[in-house]
Structure 1
Amino acid sequence: MASSAKLSLVTPPGVSLAMVAGEVSGDMLAARLIAGLRPHLPNARFHGIGGPRMIEQGFVSDVPLETLTVRGLFEIIPRYREIKGIQNRLRDRLLEERPAAFIGADYPGFNLGLEEQLRAQGIPTVHFVGPQIWAWRGGRIKKIQRAVSHMLVIFPFEEQIYRDAGVPVTYIGHPLAETIPLVPDTVAARTALGLAPDARVVTIMPGSRMGELKYLAEPFVRAAGLLAKRDPGLSFVVPMAGDRQRAYFNQIVAQAGLQGVPLTLVDGSSHTAIAAADAVLVASGTATLEVALFKKPMVIAYKVMRASWEIMRHMGYQPWIGLPNILAREFLVPELLQNAATPEAMADAVWAQLNDTARRDKLAGRFTEMHHSLLRNSASVSAEAVLRVIGK
C-alpha cells in the first residue's frame, strides 16, 4: 500500500465527525453537508476519505478518494483486499477515536459495512444518500436497519420507503437542484467555451471514471463522428474530469483512429458544457440528472464488462436506469444499454433529440417540474438532521 493510503492515529481534541465519500458525486454531496454544519460546529474536525470539494470545506482526507473508485461488479475483485484493508484500518481508528458520528456519503458497498460495525459499538451513523433499494438489491434494507442511525434521502419518494422499514429518515432535496439555475444561460456558457451563440452544440459525457471511459469513450466519439458527417457545422464539447482522464481519453481516441473527429475537450466545466448544449450524449449516473436540471435533451448510454452486465440486468426492479426516467416513471429520454449502445444507435437518437422541436419543448417543461420537486435547502436540512443525531 502506498504511503498516501496509511491512516494516522493522531486526532486533536474537540468534536470530530468522520466521513467517507468514494466517488465524485459523494464528494459534492458531503461538501454541502459540511458547509451546512460549519456554522453550528465551527471548531469541529471533519476527516476520513473525501475529494476536492470536501477538502475545500476544511475536510482532512486520510486516503485519496480515487483509491476507492471502482465501477462494476467484477471490476472490484482485483482490488478487494486493498479496499477491505482501508476499511478495516479506518474502522479501527474510529473505534479508538470515538467520533460524534460517522457519515457515509453514498458509496454503500463500503460505507454500509463500516457503518454496521461502528454502530454496533455505539457510534451513531448517518448515511447520505439512501442506496437505490427501489431500483435493485431491495434485500439490502435489512443491513441498512442494522447499520444506519439516520438516513438522508435526496428523492421525495424515498422517504416513505425508509419510514416503512423503521429507519429514521429525512428528505433533504437534491443539492444539484440548488446549484443549477432554474433557467440556464446557454449563450453565456457558449461564450465561456469560445462557441458562437447560434452554434449547434452536442456535449459528449462518457463519464469521469476510468472504467466508464474504457467502455464508452470510443463508441461515444464514433457517434460524434457520424453526427459530424450529417451536419459538419455541429460543435462537440467533451468535459474532462482531470488530467488522468484526459490522457486516457486521448489514448483511446488515438488507438481507435478517431483523431479526425472535431472534439473540443475542456478541463472540468461540466456544467458549462451542459448549459451550452442543444443535446447531450451522457453516461448513466448522476450526470443524467445534471443534464435534466439544465433542461437539455439527452441520450443515456451504459456499458460495462459483459459478466457484470449479465448479472446486473437481471437484478433491476424497473425498466429505467437513467435518473430522469426513474423520477418521471417513464422513458422521457432514450436509454441505450450494453449491446444496444452502438455508435449508429447513439447518433440516430441524438440526431432526433436535436431536430424535434416539439419534443425539446416538452422535455424542458417536464425537467422544470422535476427541478422544483428536488429543490430544498439541502445543506441546512441535512445539517439539522446530523445535529439531532449527535445531540447538538
Structure 2
Amino acid sequence: MVAGETSGDMLAARLLSGLRPRLPDALMHGIGGPRMAEQGFVNDWPMDKLSVRGLFEVLMHYREISGIRKNLKQQLLAEKPDVFIGVDAPDFNLDLEIQLKQAGIPTIHYIGPSIWAWRGGRIKKIAEAVSHMLVIFPFEEQIYRDAGIPVTYVGHPLAQVIPMEIDTAAAREELGLDPRFKVVAILPGSRISEIKYNTEAFIGAAKILIQRDPNLQIVVPMAGNKQRSYYIKLVVAARLEGVPILLIDGRSHTAIAAADAVLVASGTASLEVALFKKPMVIAYKMMEASWQILKHMGCQPWVGLPNILEKEFVVPEFLQSAATPEAMADAIWQQLNDDNMQKNLKDRFTAMHHSLLRDTANISAQAVLDVIARR
C-alpha cells in the first residue's frame, strides 16, 4: 500500500481495520502513516516524503520522489505481492500501478482521482493502471462503470468516524475553552507547503476577528511537530505572534467539534468540517506559478468538497489572491452571527453525512479479498 498524506493515512487505516482481522498473518507494507501502523502496517519509507502539493513544488522534490517510486517498484516486482493498493496520491500511484498491473500484480486504487473536478482525461490512464477502483462518493460509481473500470462504492470512512450528533460542550471542556465565548478553529493544512502559503493570511483573518470580538477564542491544530515548528516560524516572521490563539498538537476533530465556525484549507479537511455540521469558510493559496496553470484546468466552479457534493456554493471559497485576511474574516464573522445560516448548513450537512455513511471498513476489505481471489 502507498498513502501519501495525512488524509490518506486515515482513510487507509479504516480499510486496514476491516482487512487485518481477515488476513491476520499478512505482511502489509509500503508507504503510510501512524494510523496505518496501528493496524500492523510496516513503513518502508516515511510518508511525508510524498506530502507535496502543487506543480512546481512537486518538481522541486521530483528526484527524491522518483527515486522512492523506482526503488518501491523494483521491490514489488521482485516480491510479487497478492495485491497493491494505491491510496489517493494519483500522480505517484497511477504510474506505479501501470507497471505492476503489466507484471500481473492486481492493483486497487482507493479514492478515485477527482476526474469530475479537473483533468478528466485521466480516466484512460486509470483504466490502464487499475484492476479495481474503490470510490468514496456515490456519484463516482457510474463514472467508472461507464468507462469499463470495475468499481465499488465503499462510502466515506469519515462518515463512520465522525458522530452524527456533535458534543460541542465536551470538546470545549477537553481543550480548556471558556464555554461563554465563541470559538473559531483554523486549519491551514497538514502539508508543509500548505502551511507555508496559508498561514499568514489565515492568522491575519484571526487577528481581524479578535479585534471585532476580543473574547473570541481561536484554536489551531497542528498535524505534527514539524508542522508546528514551521507554523510558529511563519507567524513570527509575519509579526503575528501577538494574536492570541490556542495551538494544539493533533486533535483536529476536537478543535472542529469545539468550533462555532471554521476557516479551513481546501481538501479532505473541508469534508470533515461538513460532517461535524459546522459553518466554514474554505480557502487555499499556493505557489503563484502553480496557480496560473491549475486555475485553467478545472471542470467545475467549486473546489471545496462540500460545495462539490451539493453542486452549489453552500459555503464561501476564497482562492489565491482572493484569500485575503479581510475577505475571510468578513465571511467567518457573518457565519458566527447568522443563526438561520447556521441552521441551514447543519441541516444540509446532516443529509450529506447520511449519504456518505456505509460500512466502509468491511465493504472495502471484501472488495480487496475479491480481487485477490480472482487472481
Q: TM-score range by the shorter chain?
A: over 0.9
Q: Which residue of structure 2 aligns with residue 207 of structure 1? A: 189
Which residue of structure 2 aligns with residue 361 of structure 1? 343
**Inter-partner Cα distance in structure 1 for 2:181 and 2:216:** 7
Q: Deviation per CA, 1:7-27, whole angstroms, max 9, x where unpaired?
A: xxxxxxxxxxxx000111111
Tell me how far apart the structure 1 counterparts of residues 301 and 217 of structure 2 sit (CA, whole Å).
32
SS in 2 for 1:76: helix
Gaps of 5+ in 2: none
SS in structure 1 at match of 2:78: helix
Aligned to 2:296: 314
Correspondence for 1:4: none
What is the DSSP-based 3-state SS (H/G/I as helix, E as strand, rest coil) of the residue aligned with 1:304?
Answer: coil
Partner residue in 2 for 1:286: 268
1:259 paired residue number: 241
Question: 1:53-80: CA deviations, max 9, x gaps?
Answer: 0011000000000111111011111211
1:36 aligned to which of 18, 26, 45: 18
Matched with 2:112 is 130
**RMSD of aligned residue pairs (Cα, Å):** 0.7
Give 1:197 shift: 2.2
Q: How many residues align?
A: 374
Q: Any residues of structure 2 matched to 1:47-62 within 5 Å, and which?
A: 47-62=29-44
SS for the counterpart of 2:28 is strand
| 1:199 CA drift (Å) | 2.1
Match of 1:63 among 26, 34, 45: 45
What TM-score does the superposition give when structure 2 sets the normalisation length? 0.99
1:347 aligns with 2:329: yes
Q: Secondary structure at the match of 1:27?
A: helix
- What is aligned with 1:274? 256
Between the aligned residues of both structures, percent identity stands at: 68
Q: How does 1:1-392 map to 2 (within 5 A)?
A: 19-391=1-373
- Larger mean CA deviation between 72-81 and 354-363 belongs to 72-81
Distance 2:172 2:353 in 1: 23
**For 1:130-168, what per-residue CA distance to the aligned partner results, in whole angstroms no more than 9, with x for missing partners?**
100000011101111110000000000000000000000
TM-superposed CA distance for 1:366, in Å, is 0.1
Counterparts of 1:292 and 1:120, CA distance in 2: 40
Residue-by-residue CA offset, 1:371-390 (whole Å, 9 max, x unaligned): 00000010000001000000
Deviation by residue 1:183-237 (Cα, 9 ceiling, x = unmatched):
1100000000001223200001111111111111011111100000101110000
3-state SS of 2:367 partner: helix
Shift >3 Å, 4+ stretches: none
**What TM-score, normalized to structure 1?**
0.95
Q: Per-residue CA shift, 1:244-285, capped at 9, x if unaligned?
A: 111111111111111111100011000000000000000001
Letter in 1 for 2:42: V
Separation of aligned partners in 2, 1:54 and 1:75:
26
Q: Distance in 1 between matches of 2:76 and 2:194?
A: 33
SS at match of 1:30: helix
